[in-house]
């Protein structure tokens, strides 16, 4: 028979490690229907008929966060045959809080006390036999990391599931609360089985509206609620939460013997320095500097140079060419493969090593617990412009690639903060925008270092201004959510976990090169190589580029960008086309210019086309072009990520529209004010730029009443 | 002759890419790292 | 009435009552800050907000605005 086992537990308790250990590579990752909470399912190793379901990490079964609602709907409606409740032994008191709620669901439960090795190391002892008796479920000691005890836990869960042993919660609350629960239990309809009565009764007493939708018959319990609230002088939700912790406090002394008391753990000692009042910010700056220095300039640059110059310079293209010549392939197809596909895809893959080095660092910082501290340190600043400390992590990752950056916004609980983070994350120049920066800096500004620095500066200012402007709009008004975050103890992440995390993020980038970019290079090549000459459609010679389909499309959209200074007669369409191909992937911009100016292969910074580019744009327009590409909607892949994370078409289009609008306005202002101050004269578009600037400043500085996060009763 | 073979291979590759993209899209995971950082192997290494 | 917001770093206090209602209050309570529990104020972030406290044997950070809901003694 087939058995379904759910893994439930707090975040950071080792659930994912246990899931990986139990299922191996046999996993299916998807999303829970309708929401962007990840759903992981796998088959237990050696048991084809046992499915393991990894529920999102949660602190409680309250109806307030998406993860909690998903987990509890699964537990109530799908009713797995057994639950393995993972409990972090080093932080057992708070972990047991969720356990008391899980016990009430009427599903067989095995409690797996994780990190037993660390508990023993600290000299503590957890008496699992007593824990088992006082909570009414089987308890197994495990170390998910070392793999000890996990088979036993799985086998226990299977045997419980087969015997259909329902747990009866043995924990008890205050007698007045128990009486109320019993009274409500008797009012419940027949559709609710005996074993789940306690759960539903408590949820009704807690005034949990979401649970009422799941019940056929909703009894009126307002008298019971009123009686309890009068007796305890508090709301029922708080009374029950309180009672749970009271029970846990009453048993914890019996179940846990503390070893040596006092003394600072290693984690405490590290934390004393790392989040020190004076040293925290300098240390943070130093860490960021090292991460970027190593991944962009030294190790990363070495690897990327090798990939670009050797692998995709001296090895692959000549080999492919030789092969194509050997099989006697037609010239046009050789052109498509070499100039289109190999050059385009190669330019993207060239970034992979750099990106992987960056992702190793970020995975390490996340795994060791430093990222939570970053959120702690930065929260005050980010609060000022409507974001949260946690917004910093997506932006850091976004400096490598926007796709995993946007994905990382999921850890932000507040809906409003998360949406705002998604909209602004891609303003940070990602790895793929670096070649555009190098191109513009080289072609117009003599490789000046300030161009790159200003690009990051523009990105940061765009985030800050957007935060302030957006938080004042109606769409983002409302109560900010609490910033209540666990700061997990520091620990050394395992090599396997760091590498897995690096690979998961890096893979999204590689996949993008192999799919969407490959296809777009083919389409682009086609659009460039075909067109109408003298009323006849056909393949073009290299010098007939101005007759290509691409040129026709470019000429249609070029007038839109004329106010930005992309105007040079007969050439303006090239900038428009480059910016449009940038929407497919930012890596395309340099490659597109290369193709448009008739170079089959250009270096990463496009040094071959610097001369051509300098002829078609003024430096001011070129800087505006750079800013437009930095701020406008990101690549297809990142837009897909935005769509998925917003999970709402209206919000998606709002985000894309806002990004493109901001990019257009900013580069319009740069160009118009640039030519005004360099004596270029005053025109209609200068007026427009002034009006837009005033509107922008109004949006930025208009009065706004900060809504406070608390409502003191 | 070579052109036909190379062209056929190219069409085959493109078809495979499109099919895998369509499949991913149906599974609701268009181009992602696996996403949820709290679920990520790098986050929770105990 | 003293709230957690006013407590200096290095002090241990006992929670007397939680004010407010709804999600924010529930969330704080879910994390183990309930009546009668002792809370040690560990440190303040470099820019003065949020604060880090030790409660029920683990570290928790919360904003001062939220700490104001927690009445202590």
Q: What is the pLDDT of residues A306-359, one digit of tens each?
A: 887 888 888 888 999 999 999 888 888 888 888 778 877 877 777 788 778 888
pLDDT digits 0-9 by tens, A520-540: 888 888 888 888 888 888 888
Q: Nearest residue of B to residue A325 by CA position?
A: B2
- Nearest residue to A163 (alpha-carbon basis) of A200, A112, A114, A110: A110
Host domain of residue B22: 1-33
Q: In chain C, where are the structural domains located? A: 4-72
Q: Is A685 helix (H, G, I), strand (E, B) or coil?
A: helix
pLDDT for residue A695: 94
Neighbours of A315 (CB within 10 A): 11
**CA pair distance A590, A581, nearest whole angstrom:** 10
Distance to chain C for A375, nearest Cα, Å: 10
CB contact under 8 A, A380 and C20: no
pLDDT digits (tens, 9 = 90+) for A565-606: 887 767 788 888 888 888 888 877 887 888 788 776 677 777
Chain A residues with CB under 8 Å of C19 CB are 710, 712-713
Under the banding of pLDDT at 50, 70 and 90, the label for residue A296 is confident
d(CA A23, CA A41): 9
Domain ranges of chain A: 3-163, 182-240
pLDDT in tens, A600-640: 667 777 788 888 888 888 899 999 999 999 999 888 778 88
Closest by CA to A84, choosing from A71, A102, A96, is A102
Lookup result for tokens 């639950």: A83
Beta-bridge mates of residue A38: A31
The Cα-based distances of A307 to A312, A319, A338, A352, A505 in angstroms read 6, 15, 17, 9, 19
A226 CB neighbour count, 10 Å cutoff: 11
Cβ(A506)–Cβ(A356) below 8 Å: yes
Structure token pair of residue A630: 């930095």
| Phi-psi label, residue A369: left if phi above 0, alpha if psi -120 to 50, beta otherwise | left
pLDDT, chain A, mean: 85
- Round to whole Å and give the CA distance between A555 and A261: 76
Domain A182-240 CATH assignment equals 3.30.70.1880: no
| From C17, C27, C50, residue closest to A64, measured CB to CB | C27
Side-chain-facing half-sphere of A273: CA atoms under 13 Å: 6
| B23 domain-assigned | yes
Distance from CA of B22 to the nearest CA of A (A): 11
Residues of A in Cβ contact (< 8 Å) with B21: 515-516
Residue A453, Cβ neighbours under 10 Å: how many?
A: 11
Q: Is residue B40 part of a domain?
A: no
Q: Reduced to 3 states, what is the DSSP secondary structure of residue C39?
A: strand
Q: Which positions in chain C have a beta carbon within 8 angstroms of at least one beta carbon in chain A?
A: 17-21, 23-32, 34-37, 43-50, 52, 56-63, 65-66, 68-69
With CA atoms as reference, report the closest residue to A707 among A481, A369, A400: A481
Q: Is A13 annotated as a binding residue?
A: yes
Question: What CA–CA distance (Å, rounded) separates A19 from A150?
Answer: 10
Residue A708's SS3 state is: coil
Among A1, A48, A57, A2, smallest CA distance to A24 is for A48
Question: Within the 53-72 window of chain A, which residues sit less than 8 Å (CB to CB) from chain C?
Answer: 59-60, 62, 64
The pTM assigned to this predicted structure is 0.81
Chains near C (3 or more Cβ pairs under 8 Å): A
Supply the mean pLDDT for chain B: 65
Task: Supply the ipTM of this predicted assembly.
Answer: 0.96
| Nearest Cα residue to A11 out of A411, A607, A594 | A411
Which is higher by pLDDT, A32 or A698?
A698
Q: Does domain C4-72 have CATH number 2.30.30.90?
A: yes
Query: Is A149 labeled as ligand-binding?
Result: no
- Asked if chain B contacts chain A via 3 or more Cβ pairs within 8 Å, the reply is yes
Architecture of the domain made up of A3-163? 3-Layer(aba) Sandwich (3.40)
Contact A118 B39 (CB under 8 A): no
Q: At C17, list the tokens.
A: 């009552």
- Average pLDDT on A260-275 reads 79
- Residue A656 to residue A643: CA distance in whole angstroms: 9
Task: Find the mean pLDDT for residues A681-695.
Answer: 90
Q: A57: which DSSP letter?
A: P
Confidence of residue A165 (pLDDT cuts 50, 70, 90): low
Q: Which residues contact A225 (CB under 8 A, 6 or more apart)?
A: A205, A207, A236
Q: What does the pLDDT read at residue B36?
A: 39
Task: Provide, rounded to the nearest whole percent, the portion of chain A with pLDDT above 90.
Answer: 30
| Token couple for A203 | 């949820």
**C-proximal residues of A, 277-306, CB under 8 Å:** 277-278, 280-281
Residue B45 is predicted with a pLDDT of 28
Does residue A485 contact residue C61 with C-beta atoms inside 8 Å? yes
Paired strand residues for A114: A88
Asked whether residue A23 is marked as a ligand-binding residue, the answer is yes
Two tokens, residue A136: 């009414």
| A contact residues 530-569, partner C, Cβ 8 Å cutoff | none
Would the CB atoms of B38 and A11 count as touching at under 8 Å?
yes
| DSSP assignments along A398-416, one per residue | HTT-HHHHHHGGGG---HH
Instruction: Please report the residues numbered 1 through 46 in chain B whose beta carbons come closer than 8 angstroms to any beta carbon of chain A.
Output: 1-3, 5-7, 10, 14, 17-18, 20-21, 27-46
Query: Higher pLDDT residue, A101 or A550?
Result: A101
Question: Any idea what DSSP says for residue C8?
Answer: P
Q: Which of C18, C28, C52 sits opposite A487 (nearest CB)?
A: C52
For chain B, the domain total comes to: 1
pLDDT band with cut points at 50, 70 and 90 for residue A481: low
CB-CB: which of A278, A377, A484 is closest to C62? A484
Query: Neighbours of A (≥3 Cβ pairs closer than 8 A)?
Result: B, C
- The residues facing A4 across adjacent strands are A51
Residue A586: both structure tokens together? 């930012």
Is A29 in a helix, a strand, or coil? strand
What residues of chain C lie within 8 A of the CB of A202, using their CB? Answer: none
Is A35 annotated in a binding site? The answer is yes
Q: What is the DSSP string of A558-571?
A: HHHHGGGT---TTT
Task: Identify the residue among A33, A331, A503, A508 best suited for mutation to test binding to B, counting B beta carbons within 10 A and taking the highest.
Answer: A508
Q: Do C57 and A93 touch (CB under 8 A)?
A: yes
Structure tokens, A274: 């790392």
pLDDT for the residue numbered A624: 94
| Beta pairing partners, C39 | C13, C55
CA distance, residue B34 to nearest chain A CA (Å): 6
Q: Which of residues 433-452 of A touch C (CB under 8 A)?
A: none
pLDDT at C55: 94
Q: Is residue B44 one of the residues assigned to a domain?
A: no
To the nearest whole Å, the CA of A597 is away from the closest chain B CA by 26
Q: Which residues pair with A288 in a beta bridge?
A: none
Tokens of A511: 């996949």
Tell me the torsion sign for CA atoms C52, C54, C57, C62.
negative
- Largest interatomic CA distance in chain A: 93
Chain B nearest CA to A644, separation (Å): 8
Which residues in chain A have their CB less than 8 angstroms from residue C25's CB? 237-238
pLDDT in tens, C11-68: 999 999 998 877 888 889 999 999 999 999 999 999 888 999 999 989 999 999 889 9
DSSP assignment letter at B38: G
Whole-number Å distance between alpha carbons of A161 and A3: 7
How far apart are alpha carbons A512 and A503 in whole angstroms? 14
Tell me the C-alpha distance between A477 and A454, whole Å.
31
């Amino acid at each position: 028979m087939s058995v379904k086992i759910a893994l439930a537990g707090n975040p950071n308790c080792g659930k994912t490690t246990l899931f990986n250990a139990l299922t191996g590579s046999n996993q299916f990752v998807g999303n829970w229907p309708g929401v962007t909470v990840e759903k992981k399912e796998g088959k237990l190793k050696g048991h084809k008929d046992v499915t393991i379901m990894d529920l999102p990490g949660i602190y409680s079964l309250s109806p307030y966060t998406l993860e909690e609602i998903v987990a509890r709907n699964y537990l109530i409606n799908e009713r797995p045959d057994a639950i393995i409740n993972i409990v972090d032994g080093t932080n057992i008191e708070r972990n047991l809080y969720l356990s008391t709620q899980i016990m009430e669901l009427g599903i067989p439960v095995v409690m797996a006390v994780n990190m037993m090795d660390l508990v023993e190391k600290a000299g503590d002892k957890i008496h699992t036999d007593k824990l088992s008796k006082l909570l009414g479920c089987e308890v197994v000691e495990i170390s998910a990391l070392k793999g000890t005890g996990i088979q036993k836990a799985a086998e226990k869960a299977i045997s419980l599931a087969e015997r259909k042993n329902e747990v009866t919660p043995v924990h008890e609350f205050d007698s007045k609360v128990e009486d109320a629960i019993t009274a409500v239990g008797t009012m419940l309809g027949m559709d609710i089985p005996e074993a789940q009565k306690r759960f539903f009764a408590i949820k009704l007493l807690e005034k949990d509206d979401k649970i009422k939708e799941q019940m056929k018959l909703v009894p009126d319990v307002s008298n019971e609620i009123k009686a309890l609230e009068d007796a305890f002088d508090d709301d029922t939700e708080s009374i029950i939460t309180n009672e749970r912790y009271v029970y846990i406090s009453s048993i914890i002394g019996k179940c846990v013997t503390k070893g040596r008391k006092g003394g600072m753990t290693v984690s405490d000692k590290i934390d004393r320095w790392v989040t020190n009042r004076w040293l925290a910010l300098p240390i943070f700056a130093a860490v960021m500097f090292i991460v970027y220095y190593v991944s962009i300039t030294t190790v990363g640059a070495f690897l990327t140079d090798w990939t670009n110059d050797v692998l995709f310079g001296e090895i692959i293209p000549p080999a492919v060419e030789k092969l194509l010549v050997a099989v006697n392939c037609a010239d046009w197809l050789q052109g498509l493969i070499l100039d289109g596909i190999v050059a385009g895809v190669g330019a993207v893959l060239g970034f992979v090593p750099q990106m992987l080095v960056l992702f190793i660092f970020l995975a390490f910082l996340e795994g060791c617990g430093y990222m939570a501290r970053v959120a702690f340190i930065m929260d005050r600043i980010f609060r000022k412009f409507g974001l949260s400390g946690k917004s910093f992590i997506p932006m850091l990752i976004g400096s490598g690639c926007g796709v995993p950056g946007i994905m990382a916004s999921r850890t932000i609980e507040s809906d409003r903060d998360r949406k705002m983070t998604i909209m602004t994350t891609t303003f940070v120049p990602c790895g793929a925008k670096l070649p555009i920066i190098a191109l513009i800096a080289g072609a117009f500004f003599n490789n000046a270092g300030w161009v790159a620095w200003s690009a990051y500066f523009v990105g940061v200012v765009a985030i800050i201004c957007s935060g302030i402007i957006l938080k004042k709009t109606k769409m983002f008004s409302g109560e900010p959510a609490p910033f209540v975050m666990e700061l997990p103890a520091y620990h050394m992440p395992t090599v396997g976990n760091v590498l897995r995390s690096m690979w998961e993020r890096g893979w999204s980038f590689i996949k993008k090169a192999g799919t969407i970019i490959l296809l777009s290079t083919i389409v682009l090549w086609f659009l460039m190589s075909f067109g109408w000459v003298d009323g006849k459609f056909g393949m073009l010679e290299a010098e007939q580029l101005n007759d290509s389909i691409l040129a026709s499309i470019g000429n249609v959209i070029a007038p839109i960008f004329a106010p930005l200074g992309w105007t040079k007669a007969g050439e303006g369409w090239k900038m428009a086309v480059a910016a449009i191909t940038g929407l497919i992937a930012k890596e395309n911009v340099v490659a597109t210019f290369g193709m448009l100016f008739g170079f089959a292969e250009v270096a990463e910074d496009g040094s071959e086309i610097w001369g051509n580019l300098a002829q078609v744009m003024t430096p001011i327009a070129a800087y505006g072009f750079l800013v437009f590409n930095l701020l406008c909607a990101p690549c297809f892949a990142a837009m897909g990520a935005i769509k998925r994370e917003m999970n709402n078409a209206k919000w998606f289009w709002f985000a894309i529209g806002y990004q493109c609008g901001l990019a257009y306005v900013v580069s319009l202002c740069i160009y118009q004010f640039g030519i005004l101050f360099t004596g270029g004269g005053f025109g209609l578009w200068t007026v427009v730029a002034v009006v837009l600037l005033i509107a922008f400043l109004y949006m930025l500085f208009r009065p706004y009443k900060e809504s406070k996060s608390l409502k003191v009763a | 002759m070579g052109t036909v073979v190379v062209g056929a291979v190219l069409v085959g590759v493109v078809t495979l890419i499109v099919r895998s993209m369509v499949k991913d899209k149906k599974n609701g995971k268009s181009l992602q790292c696996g996403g949820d950082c709290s679920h990520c192997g790098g986050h929770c290494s105990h | 009435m003293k709230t957690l917001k006013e407590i200096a770093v290095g002090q241990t206090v006992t929670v007397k009552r939680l004010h407010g209602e709804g999600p924010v209050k529930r969330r704080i309570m879910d994390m183990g800050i309930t009546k009668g529990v002792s809370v040690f104020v560990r440190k303040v972030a470099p820019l003065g907000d949020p604060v880090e406290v030790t409660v029920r044997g683990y570290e928790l950070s919360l904003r001062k605005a939220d700490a104001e809901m927690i009445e202590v003694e």
